[in-house]
A and B are shown apart, each in its own frame.
Chain A
Amino acid sequence: MPSPNLLAPIDHDRRTERLSFTGSGAEYFRIWIANTLLSIVTLGIYSAWAKVRKERYFYGHTHLAGTSFDYHGRPIPILKGRLLAAALFVLYGVATQTSPKLLVAVVVAYLAIVPWIVVKALQFRARVSSWRGIRFAFDGSFGESYFVFGLLTVCLPLTLGLIAPYWWFRRHRFSFHNLRFGQTRCTFSALPGQYYRAFLTLVVIGLAIALAAVFLVAVVVMVTFVEVEDPGEATAQGLLFVGVGYATGIVGGSMINGLARGLLGNLSLGKTSVGPHALSTRFDPGSLAWIQLVNTVLIVLTLGLYIPFAQIRLAKYLISNTALEVDGDLDSFVANESNSVSATGGEIADVFDIDVGW
């Protein structure tokens, strides 16, 4: 009987390494609930420690070629960043509620500062992430960031959103093309045309979902509408219709969110290479729409207690559908000279919810 090696021609230089995620919802729930409770009773101070523990949990459960990723962020710098971000948020809140002139100033200041924050956030995130003892790094320039997150953002409403796909293309290119693993540069190979095709799909399906939602609400209104004289009953009926509309919005919104994650994830992460090794993703937009829909419905029904399970579920899908097409070997990446970046950028980005990832 011939040995298996003779039957299956194995190319030792090329192989597919699939990423795997081993976290579990039941285990993470305990960590999440402890984090949340301690953050609340310490008036938010613990949230910096909670963030480190959360990231370490997700990184430590993400495996590639027998080794997991590691998160090196420290609580104290993260706490400082959060305090600064909270102060900025309060300033922003006061400004938006007091004077329109001040609001204009804040918006201008925001546009001036966001590109800087994005760079700092991406630098921090890369710097505190490692695999096999090799840290990531981010080389994106402030100039490119001001072009993408300043100029193109301003142009977005001016072009009635027609450059939105190009804007996303540049955002992803900025995030991934400037990433470095040790001394190995990452390259991003998606093209603007692919983003336009993805957005076209998204708009068509999004419109279909919106139409279905409107139709559903209309049917509910027609079936349950009764002529009422009493203004009180009329108000109750109005509330019911608002509730139905609200629920439909949540359902439709989460599905579109899932579709977008899938379509754009395949174009961003899925078109990135680390040196000679190409990442490949097999995100199915339909499956992601379903996952997001179920997650959102369960989060609302459990008043938030499903959040940790939802995060695990999403992470499991995204990570286990990502692979590295290895060309050569994974043992010869070389580390770069270490440098330190403050956590502030990353934390401001967190609070202001600037989505800089995929």
Chain B
Amino acid sequence: MSGGEMNAPSARAQYFDGRNSRSTAVDVTLAEQGALAIRGDGFAFDVPRAALRVGARVGRSTWSVELERGASLAFEAGPDAERLLAALDSSPTTRWIQRLERSGRWAALCVLSLVVVTWLFVKYGVPALAARAAVLVPPDVERAIGAQGLQWIDGWLDPSQLSDDRRSAVEAAFERARTAVPDLTGLRLERRAGGPLRANAFALPGGIVVMTDELAHLVAHDDELVAVFLHEFGHLERHHGMRRLLEGSIVALLSLLLTSDVSTVASVGTGLPAVLLQAGYSRAEEREADAFALDALERIGVPRRALGDVLVRIEAETGSSGIPEILSTHPETSSRVDATRR
């Protein structure tokens, strides 16, 4: 033996022949061209590099090398085995991933990047994805989702009980609002008794706008109804409802893929931040819908302040401002009213 061979990486291992479960202690040495020389009590053979499959070395667990015909070697993690196996499998990727997995400093950096990446993705990536996808949803599907939503709402809202003249005023306001947005199709007004929702209006994907009787009574002028409808049309035009649904699905799908091994109980906890962020999307959307409504009001010659007035009225009636803004789906009314006066 020459001096070079004496220094060849070598480690103790268990050898399994793949036919029965006997374990044999062997010495494994790196031979020429990446072959392994396996020497045990009473047997000795070499395995060429091409017949070896080096398994991923994860942490300080047992590391294995698969040989031909189901035979294998199991190494206890350690410097000897590391030197031997690194000589067999030293692709830059392997080295890089192992460094990532073993160093505390990298782990700290990973935690930091994870927080930043997750935040960036949920904050900007998911809404962007959902906005792209929402435009692609066929109108039929959107209408079906909206109809489904209305059915659900009808489970706990009573039918409208407006007087005939109030009803025709609401319908006239809806038609006036519609003239400001000729590009929007499928718009439909649904009236309901507000019940727990009190004075409120909301849009469902596909073009359904629901208004409660309480809101119809609350307004001082029918221009304010036009403003409310245009605000809801703003949500529809931007596909906000559809986007919200898609955002929810994307976040759910991703957290499922990434944490598929977390127990259900724990994923309830990890789901909470997503709920809070959902409320955040909605605040930006309210501002968008307000801006859309203000533009449209100007186009049909209704004073801008109609929107501000009705916002103040709704706030006075329902007291929605009491909720801290981070938990509120609507931005602070005062900031929105200010926007209508600019």
Contacts and interface: CB of A to CB of B under 8 A. Distances in A.
Contact of B74 (A68, A72, A134): A68
A61 interface: yes
Interface of A: 22-23, 27-31, 33-34, 36-41, 44, 47, 52-54, 56-57, 59-61, 66-68, 70, 72, 82, 86, 89-90, 93-94, 97-100, 130-135, 182, 230-236, 239, 250, 253-254, 257, 292, 295-296, 299-300, 303-305, 307, 310-311, 330-335, 338, 350-351, 353
Mostly, the A contact residues are helix
A179 to B, nearest CB: 16
Interface size grouping (class) on chain B: 35 or more
A149 B163 CA distance: 56
Given A40-B258, A41-B117, A60-B62, A333 B21 contact: yes
Contact of B118 (A40, A72, A330): A40
B102 interface: yes
Contacts of A61: 59, 61-62
Nearest to A28: B59
Contacts of A68: 61-62, 74
Interface in B140-199: 141, 144-145, 148
A296 B20 contact: no
Contacts of A253: 265
A134 B261 CA distance: 26
A59 B58 CA distance: 10
A133 B71 contact: yes
B50 interface: no
A113 B155 CA distance: 33
Interface of B: 14, 16-23, 55-56, 58-64, 66, 70-72, 74, 97, 100-104, 106-107, 110-111, 113-114, 117-118, 121, 141, 144-145, 148, 245, 249, 252-254, 256-266, 268-270, 273, 318-324, 327
A205 B323 CA distance: 38
Given A27-B59, A56-B58, A230-B319, A34 B23 contact: no
Contacts of A72: 55, 66
A303 B20 contact: no
Contacts of B327: 239
Contacts of A40: 114, 117-118, 121, 258
Contacts of A350: 260
A47 B258 contact: yes
Contacts, number: 213
Given A60-B64, A66-B23, A305-B111, 14 more contacts: A60-B63, A61-B61, A72-B66, A89-B256, A97-B145, A98-B148, A133-B70, A231-B319, A232-B319, A250-B268, A254-B265, A299-B269, A332-B20, A335-B18
Nearest to B16: A133
A299 B261 CA distance: 13
Given A39-B258, A299-B269, A353-B264, A131 B103 contact: no
B23 A331 contact: yes
A304 to B, nearest CB: 5
Given A132-B23, A257-B263, A338-B70, A30 B55 contact: no
Nearest to A233: B322
A73 B110 CA distance: 26
A168 to B, nearest CB: 17
Contacts of B64: 60, 70
A67 B262 contact: no
B106 A296 contact: no
Contact of A57 (B61, B249, B259, B270): B61
A332 B254 CA distance: 46
B58 A182 contact: no
Contact of B266 (A60, A86, A296): A296
B78 to A, nearest CB: 13
Given A44-B254, A44-B258, A57-B61, A33 B20 contact: no
B114 A36 contact: yes
A227 to B, nearest CB: 15
Contacts of A334: 19-21
Contacts of A135: 70
15 contacts: A33-B107, A40-B121, A56-B58, A57-B61, A67-B62, A232-B322, A254-B263, A295-B266, A299-B269, A299-B270, A300-B266, A304-B266, A331-B20, A331-B21, A333-B21
A94 to B, nearest CB: 8
A134 B20 contact: yes
A176 B18 CA distance: 23
Given A67-B23, A93-B249, A334-B19, A303 B273 contact: yes
A239 B106 CA distance: 39
A186 B249 CA distance: 42
B100 A34 contact: yes
Contacts of A60: 58-59, 61-64
Contacts of A82: 257
6 nearest A-B pairs in the assembled complex, by CB-CB distance:
A232-B322, A60-B61, A133-B16, A300-B269, A231-B319, A333-B21
Given A33-B110, A236-B322, A296 B59 contact: no
Contact of A37 (B62, B114, B261): B114
A99 B62 CA distance: 51
A307 B265 contact: no
Nearest to B100: A34
Contacts of B55: 56, 70, 72
Contacts of B144: 98-99
Given A30-B103, A70-B64, A303-B270, A132 B22 contact: yes
